[in-house]
């Protein structure tokens, strides 16, 4: 088997359904499998996966064991030469795995491969490619200066070597993953991707960023970004620095003070989770289906050829609902990037479903809109 895609799920059944539909399509003509490890969601996740995607290998934990341990469970059950660690709130285009496989097989000392991630607003996520998180870089990041944290030497559409990739999409050989010991399970959530990326390069492999392939990462649905988020994320950075760089007591103390202090600052500055951007027009985009009854009164039906000029200024302050049954994911991602930053918002409806998923902020909670 060539590829195993591993998805850890926790209380995001709607996003997971959208993700699995995209992954299934992107694995066409690839000898592959999909493994979902569920961290005791306690909702409709199990029923949805087993009924809509019976071919998926399902692993159910009785408690939330964390991102690292759950991924290690998935990799242990994988049969593929390559594995792809994938978040449940992602959407991969049809050519994604074909492109990444072709790239990886052309490199001798390939470590992990990451791709260009965009958020639910169509904007690039800079954490797609990062520099090594040394104690100095950690302090700068904690204090609000992320210039050294992100790999700005590469443009977002470039391809090249990077130190650190993001755990929302990490593609590598199973043998390499096992050689470095997989994810360090002491990282419950956050920081484990930095640690794994560094461990891979320490073994002599090279990590690559593939900017020619774009994946949507809604980001924020699995975890509300608040004070607890700040403590976990920045605490993980402190742990990473101590594990690999044996930082002095002075640096460790400085990191500790900033970690304890920044959680309050972050909580005060976080975006209002109840604030939603307004829109003047509502569009349903599909080549095969008309809007559902609940949207017929307010949504104008568009065919894809009518949205060909998505860069035109005429498309502003609008809500676009993309029907996955009547669209390709490549079309949706291209449209989102063409329509971004003009007060437009985006939702995506999985095939034959009465809901859509979206996110209007990389730092906020995603939204599931259900129709009767």
Q: Where are the domains of the chain?
A: 3-133+152-217, 281-370
pLDDT band at 372 (very low <50, low <70, confident <90, very high): confident
Q: Are 213 and 330 in contact (CB under 8 A)?
A: no
Phi-psi region of 66 (alpha: psi -120 to 50; beta: other; left: phi over 0): left
- Predicted local confidence at residue 227, as pLDDT: 62
Distance CA 43, CA 20 (A): 17
pLDDT mean over 66-90: 97
- Predicted local confidence at residue 190, as pLDDT: 73
Q: What tens digit of pLDDT does each residue of 15-44 get?
A: 999 999 999 999 999 999 999 999 999 999
Indicate if the pLDDT at residue 223 is higher than 60. Answer: no
The residue with greater pLDDT, 128 or 135, is 128
- Predicted local confidence at residue 221, as pLDDT: 39
pLDDT mean over 244-251: 61
pLDDT mean over 227-246: 67
Helices (H), the chain: 13-26, 45-52, 67-76, 96-104, 135-142, 174-179, 192-202, 227-245, 249-269, 329-339
- Which residue, 138, 363, 137, 362, is CA-closest to 235? 138
What's domain 3-133+152-217's architecture? Answer: Alpha-Beta Complex (3.90)
Cα angle 257-258-261, degrees, rounded to a multiple of 5: 85
Q: What is the pTM of this model?
A: 0.90
């Amino acid at each position: 088997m060539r590829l195993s895609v591993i998805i850890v799920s926790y209380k995001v059944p709607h996003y997971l359904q959208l993700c699995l539909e995209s992954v299934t399509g992107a694995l066409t003509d690839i000898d592959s499998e999909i493994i979902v490890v569920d961290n005791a969601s306690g909702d409709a996740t199990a029923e949805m996966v087993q009924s809509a995607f019976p071919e998926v290998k399902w692993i159910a934990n009785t408690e939330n064991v964390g991102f690292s341990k759950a991924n290690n469970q998935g990799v242990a059950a994988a049969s593929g030469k390559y594995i792809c660690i994938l978040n449940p709130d992602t959407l991969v285009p049809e050519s994604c795995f074909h492109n990444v496989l072709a790239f990886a097989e052309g490199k001798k000392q390939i470590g992990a491969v990451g791709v260009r991630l965009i958020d639910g607003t169509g904007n690039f996520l800079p954490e797609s490619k990062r520099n090594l998180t040394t104690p100095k870089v950690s302090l700068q990041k904690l204090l609000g200066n992320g210039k050294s944290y992100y790999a700005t030497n590469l443009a977002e559409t470039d391809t090249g070597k990077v130190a650190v990739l993001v755990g929302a999409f990490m593609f590598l050989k199973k043998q390499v993953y096992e050689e470095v010991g997989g994810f360090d399970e002491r990282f419950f959530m956050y920081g484990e991707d930095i640690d794994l990326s560094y461990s891979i390069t320490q073994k002599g492999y090279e990590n690559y960023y593939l900017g020619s392939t774009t994946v949507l990462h809604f980001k924020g649905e699995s975890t509300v970004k608040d004070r607890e988020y700040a403590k976990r994320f920045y605490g993980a950075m402190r742990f990473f620095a101590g594990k690999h760089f044996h930082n002095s007591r002075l640096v460790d103390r400085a990191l500790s003070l900033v970690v304890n202090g920044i959680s309050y600052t972050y909580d005060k500055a976080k975006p209002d989770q109840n604030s939603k951007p307004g829109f003047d027009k509502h569009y349903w985009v599909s080549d095969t289906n008309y809007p559902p009854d609940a949207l017929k009164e307010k949504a104008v039906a568009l065919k894809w050829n009518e949205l060909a000029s998505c860069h035109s200024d005429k498309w502003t302050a609008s809500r676009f609902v993309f029907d996955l049954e009547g669209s390709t994911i490549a079309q949706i991602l291209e449209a989102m990037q063409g329509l971004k930053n003009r007060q437009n918002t985006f939702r995506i409806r999985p095939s034959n479903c009465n809901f859509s998923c979206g996110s209007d902020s990389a730092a906020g909670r995603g939204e599931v809109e259900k129709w009767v």
